[in-house]
Structure 1
Amino acid sequence: MIKLDRPILDAEDLFATCISRIRDPDLKQRMVDVTDEIVEASEEFADAAAHNRLHQIVREAMVGDLVTRAEMEAVYTNRMAKKGAPGRDAYDTLFTSAPQGKCPLCGHRTVSTLDHHLPKAHYPALAVAPLNLVPACGDCNKAKLANLPATASEETLHPYFDDITGDRWLYAEVVEEDPAALRFFVNAPAHWGAVLTARVGLHFRTLGLAKLYASEAADELLNIRHQLQIIHAAGGAAMIRVEMEERRQSSSAVRINGWRTITFEAFAESAWFCNGGFG
């Protein structure tokens, strides 16, 4: 996961902007009347996310007994996400906040949408709350749709609040077959507590990261196989190991848990691979 800075957008200002063009006087007044509930929901979310208590936020079908779930979903879809909508500038600000346009949830695919960390269908007051909206790729967004945490251990990672980038937790091992493959897995550092360990494992499984990273590693190997054959012919396993270690160091300088970093490390540590297992 890639850590993102928390957006500086104000929840009350954004909600007011989104509903500013509503023409139906009844709907407009009901929206205005639940402004306090919208602000309180955003503040509750911020505190809960910071203390790993998002599972304690109560699911609601309405906001303040005045605005329905469908009406709040429409605020997001038609008055924030839609091109030309009053809240579109805020949408674009959040959308472009991911470095290099990479999804912070998987760290690989391209951002294509905003993910509601807590789904708007069950938490309508958070439909346009900036802290609940995370830039994401379509695959991660779909994979998280059914995620409704019931305990602290069932909360997937939140890029605005969780930072595990400084700890090594992703590993891989070479599968000795033709063609060579990798099995990615989570190995939590000793200082992590049980809850964080469970959350990272859940995040990894929910988003299917083992399969994604294994696929990317296979493609990477396909692209460098010819070069490895030349290197092996010139210097054998030792030179292959040096090449893989140099690539690992370069990738690690960017992300210590990036799939490329882990791929090259696993290749370098495999005697079978370095002795020609790459094909």
Structure 2
Amino acid sequence: MWSLKRPALSALSTFSTCISRVRNPGLADRLALAKPAIVVASTQFDKAARVHALHSIATHDVVAPDITVSEMEKVYTQRMAKNGSPGRDTYDEILASAPGGRCPLCMQRSAATLDHHLPKAHYPALAVAPLNLIPACSDCNKAKLDAVPVMAEDVPLHPYYDDLGKEVWLTATVVERQPTALKFAIARSNAWDDTLYARVNNHFRSLGLAALFASEAAEELLNIRHQLQILRDAEPMDGVRDELERRAQSCAAARVNSWRTAAYRAWSDSDWFCEGGFLPGG
């Protein structure tokens, strides 16, 4: 997961913008009366997230005084996410915060939607709260579903509040058989407590990142195999390893815990791989 800067947008201003064009006078009045509850919910979210206690926030099915889950979901879908809606600029601003347009949750696929960190079906007061909205790819968004955390270990990683640090925590191991492959895993950072370690592992497992990274690494190997063979033929002892080490260093300079960095580290560390294991027939 990549960390992101928290949005500067307030829940009150975002909600006010989203409901600014409601034509039904009765609904407009009722939504306006919900503004204090929206502010309280966002403030509570921020305080809990800062101490990694989002599991302590109670689910609810009414936003005071009388706004239903369905009505709040429509504020998001029709008045924020919909093209041309009053809140679409805010939606696009949050979406654009994804680094390089990539999903910060899987660090690989394109961020094409906003994910509700706490699902709007169970926390409707947070339906358009910027702190609860994270740029994400469709696959990660779907994988999270509408799960409600009941313990600290259950809380998904949040790019605005969780920082996994710069120690190496993503590793890969070469499978020494043909066709070769990589197995990705999480290595516990010295800076993590037990709860964060459990949350990182839950994140890795629930989003299927081991399979995603292994697939991407297989494609990467396919693209560089010809060059590695040329290097092996020219410098049988060190040509392949030197090239892989250079690539590992270059990738690490950009992102120390990207799948590419982990892949090139694993390949360069494997004598079997460097001595020809990268070839289709070994």
TM bucket (normalised to shorter chain) is: over 0.9
Kept in 2, the 8 Å contact 1:37–1:125? The answer is: yes
Whole-angstrom distance in 1 between the partners of 2:80 and 2:165: 31
Name 2:161's counterpart in structure 1: 161
- Displacement of 1:237 in angstroms is 4.3
1:221 lines up with 2:234 in the alignment: no
Name 2:255's counterpart in structure 1: 255
Secondary structure, aligned partner of 1:109: coil
Whole-angstrom distance in 1 between the partners of 2:255 and 2:223: 21
**2:236 is aligned with what amino acid?**
G
Secondary structure, aligned partner of 2:254: coil
Assess, with a 3 A threshold, how the Cα gap between structure 1 residues 117 and 275 changes in structure 2: closer, same or farther. Answer: same
Name 1:88's counterpart in structure 2: 88
The within-5 A match list for 1:204-215 is: 204-215=204-215
1:106 lines up with 2:90 in the alignment: no
1:185 lines up with 2:148 in the alignment: no
Name 1:24's counterpart in structure 2: 24
- Displacement of 1:108 in angstroms is 0.7
- Displacement of 1:167 in angstroms is 2.4
Name 2:15's counterpart in structure 1: 15
**2:12 is aligned with what amino acid?**
E
Whole-angstrom distance in 2 between the partners of 1:75 and 1:230: 59
Name 2:149's counterpart in structure 1: 149
Kept in 2, the 8 Å contact 1:171–1:186? The answer is: yes
Whole-angstrom distance in 1 between the partners of 2:201 and 2:174: 20
Whole-angstrom distance in 2 between the partners of 1:155 and 1:245: 36
Whole-angstrom distance in 1 between the partners of 2:69 and 2:147: 18
Whole-angstrom distance in 2 between the partners of 1:272 and 1:28: 68
Identity %: 55
Aligned-CA RMSD value: 0.9
- Number of matched residues? 279
**1:179 is aligned with what amino acid?**
P
Point out where structure 2 has 5 or more consecutive residues left out of the alignment.
none
1:79 lines up with 2:75 in the alignment: no
- Displacement of 1:250 in angstroms is 0.3
Query: TM (normalized to structure 2)?
Result: 0.97
Deviations 1:177-233 (A, max 9, x none): 212100000011233210010011011111110000000000000000001111111
Point out where structure 1 has 5 or more consecutive residues left out of the alignment.
none
Name 1:34's counterpart in structure 2: 34
Secondary structure, aligned partner of 2:197: helix
Deviations 1:144-193 (A, max 9, x none): 11332111111111001111142221101001121210000001123321
Secondary structure, aligned partner of 1:147: coil
Kept in 1, the 8 Å contact 2:11–2:39? The answer is: yes
Query: TM (normalized to structure 1)?
Result: 0.98
Kept in 2, the 8 Å contact 1:120–1:126? The answer is: yes
Secondary structure, aligned partner of 1:236: coil
Whole-angstrom distance in 2 between the partners of 1:223 and 1:237: 22
| Range 176-185 or range 118-127, more displaced | 176-185
Runs of at least 4 residues off by over 2 Å: none
Whole-angstrom distance in 1 between the partners of 2:70 and 2:191: 44
- Displacement of 1:65 in angstroms is 4.5
Name 1:6's counterpart in structure 2: 6
